[in-house]
Amino acid sequence: MAAASYHWLAVMAALVVALVAGLPAAGALGVNWGTMATHRLPSGTVVRMLQDNGIRKVKLFDADPGPMDALAGSGIEVMVGIPNNMLDMMTDYGTARDWVHENVSRYNFDGGVTIKYVAVGNEPFLSAFNGTFLNVTLPALQNIQRALDDAGLGESIKATVPLNADVYNSPVSNPVPSAGRFRSDIADLMTEIVQFLNQSGAPFTVNIYPFLSLYGSDGFPLDYAFFDGTSSPVVDAGSGITYTNVFDANFDTLVSALAAAGAGGLPVVVGEVGWPTDGDTHATAAYAQKFYAGLLRKLAANAGTPLRPSQYIEVYLFSLIDEDAKSVAPGNFERHWGIVRYDGQPKYPMDLSGGQGGNAAPAALVAARGVQYLPRQWCVANPNAPDTSRISDGVAYACSLSDCTALGYGSSCNGLDAAGNASYAFNMYFQVQNQAEGSCDFQGLAVTTAQNPSTDACNFTIQIEPSAAGRRRRAPVAAALPLLLVLRAVLQVVL
């Protein structure tokens, strides 16, 4: 009797552990989880939102212990990242080994973090970086993979380099996918990198942005950015293929470049793809909804691309959450890539199953649960201010320390009048300052109000509570977690 019930308990515990560890995530959709926000959602809230939405893969830009600890035991597959500014250090093997030890091996236990990839750098060969990372990226990649191998993890965890699609192109004289080659200034380096990836069994990781194709060129045919056919398809005489969307054309340009570099069979992971919702005339929720509907339908059908037909493409959407502290050097849209707002609220209908869920109506994402907001009050321009001559100084100051990108040309709040502009700026500053005493004054130019100043198009937001999980910390998770999981397993069996 005792033996039998012990056996039953062990089986149940194993089962619960298996459930906690998660099912294989093959075919699952991934998302990028960036954290460059003034107010981060608590990591646990984000992980629960991922789970509520059935998202089984996530890509990070570093190895911050906050998100990593929250991901432990979730079964979600993770790509951890090494930022560009650490690549130089990783050319030293000892430093690479320490990084792997602290940021990979430490999470490698039952109920830890299911790390699948290490992203070595982030778009290090972007033309805008002026070659800063050209000499360090390959040595860093080699050292990290060697450190993974030496730690006994190299079979299951692969080092890769997420690259911008600007590392390859086709000649202006023959701009078709079959003519794709790596950029001439880095062709030799790219050949070495793809051969290394091929040898280590790692995928090539590329970020593809149809939105940026559109943003970058006035003559770009709008419908070519989506997936519903186009009035101006690209006919590739080299392959006899007709391309009807820029995603396929871009992907296949890479496939051709890989083949030319002697690695035609190298698996390709799309590290980032998405559509922003503000900060440009083409950055709207309606376009984003249309783009994702087409992309997700295509992915769910395992359609592949013309050069790699009928196959599953591993994709990480960019991005999960808006980040109001990102650099706007690429454009004002940069802070609006999230499929959910800063507070975890979905922006538009989106069916992650790509129509495979059986619902006729577009499904909605599940919002973050239990989000805590600051008090329901806003900061606006004071209608009774005696002297408003210095209001533009106040606005400039407010916007230099908060996110005013929604005010720009083509953005959601561009239609406000001068007073509305000032109110928007003052409120963004007030919210970033956690509505602190004195942060809604601007020498008498601003006052707080309980009346929501939002318009149909323009959202005056209330920030979320600053979270403890948003701050940097290092929790002793590796030591505490296995015990916790065993306890949880036992409790679930007993209760």
Ligand X SMILES: *[C@@H]1O[C@H](CO)[C@@H](O)[C@H](O)[C@H]1NC(C)=O
> Which residues are designated catalytic?
123, 272
Confirm or reject binding of residue 228 to ligand X (CB under 6 A): no
- In angstroms, the CA 198 to CA 187 distance is 16
Stretch that binds ligand X, among 110-118, 171-179, 261-269, 271-279 (CB under 6 A): 261-269
DSSP SS3 for 268: strand
233 binds ligand X (CB under 6 A): no
**Positions 348 through 407 that interact with ligand X (CB under 6 A):** 407
Instruction: Let me know: does 55 contact 35? Beta carbons within 8 Å.
Output: no
- Residue span binding ligand X (CB under 6 A) among the ranges 115-123, 194-202, 210-218, 432-440: 194-202
Stretch that binds ligand X, among 41-49, 299-307, 327-335, 415-423 (CB under 6 A): 415-423
The rounded distance, in Å, linking the Cα atoms of 70 and 136 is: 31
Q: Is 64 in the site for ligand X (CB under 6 A)?
A: yes
Residue type, 209: Y
Q: Give the rounded distance of the alpha carbon of 395 from its chain centre.
A: 30
Closest to ligand X by CB, 135 or 174: 135
Residue selected from 203, 304, 349, 408 as contacting ligand X according to rule CB under 6 A: 408
Q: Taking CB under 6 A as the rule, does residue 341 contact ligand X?
A: yes
- Upper half-sphere CA count for residue 99 (Cβ side, 13 Å): 30
- Kindly state whether residue 129 participates in binding ligand X, applying the rule CB under 6 A: yes
Q: Does 201 bind ligand X (CB under 6 A)?
A: yes
Alpha helices for 23-150 (secondary structure H): 43-52, 65-71, 93-103, 137-150
**CA 302 to CA 313: how far, in whole Å?**
7
Told to check if 160 binds ligand X by CB under 6 A, we report no
Give the phi and the psi of residue 14 in degrees, each rounded to 5: -60, -40
Nearer CB in complex with ligand X: 22/203: 203
User: With binding defined as CB under 6 A, does residue 171 bind ligand X?
Assistant: no
| Distances in whole angstroms, Cα of residue 200 to Cα of each of 105, 120, 205 | 19, 14, 14
Residue ranges in 435-474 that form contacts with ligand X under rule CB under 6 A: 454, 459, 461
Pick from 33, 99, 211, 430: which binds ligand X (CB under 6 A)?
A: 99
How far is residue 292's CA from residue 289's CA, in Å, rounded to a whole number? 5
Residue 281 interacts with ligand X (CB under 6 A)? no
Query: Residue 263 and residue 191: Cα distance in Å, rounded?
Result: 9
Does residue 288 touch ligand X according to CB under 6 A? no
Instruction: Rule CB under 6 A: say whether 57 interacts with ligand X.
Output: no
| Cβ within 8 Å of residue 230, ≥6 positions away | 221, 223, 224, 244, 245
Q: Residue 131 or residue 362: which is nearer to ligand X going by CB?
A: 131
**What's the Rg (C-alpha) of the chain?**
24
Q: Residue 3, Cβ neighbours under 10 Å: how many?
A: 7
Q: 117 vs 227, which CB is nearer to ligand X?
A: 117
Q: Half-sphere exposure (CA, 13 Å, Cβ side) for 150? A: 14
CB neighbours (10 Å) of residue 121? 24
Q: Is 332 in the site for ligand X (CB under 6 A)?
A: no
The count of residues interacting with ligand X (CB under 6 A) is: 29
Q: Is 415 in the site for ligand X (CB under 6 A)?
A: no
Residue of the chain from 35, 38, 53, 198 that contacts ligand X (CB under 6 A): 198
Closest approach, Cβ 437 to ligand X, in A, equals 24
User: Which of 3, 24, 130, 231 is close enough to bind ligand X by CB under 6 A?
Assistant: 130
- Contact residue for ligand X among 24, 240, 265, 370 (CB under 6 A): 265
Tokens of 62: 């570093």
Query: In this complex, which beta carbon is closest to ligand X, that of residue 407 or of residue 428?
Result: 407
Estimate to the nearest angstrom the gap between the alpha carbon of 206 and the chain centroid: 13
> Can you say whether the dihedral through the CA atoms of 26, 29, 35, 41 is positive or negative?
negative
What residues line the site for ligand X (CB under 6 A)? 62-64, 98-99, 102-103, 129-132, 135, 198-199, 201, 263-265, 341, 343, 345, 407-408, 417-418, 421, 454, 459, 461
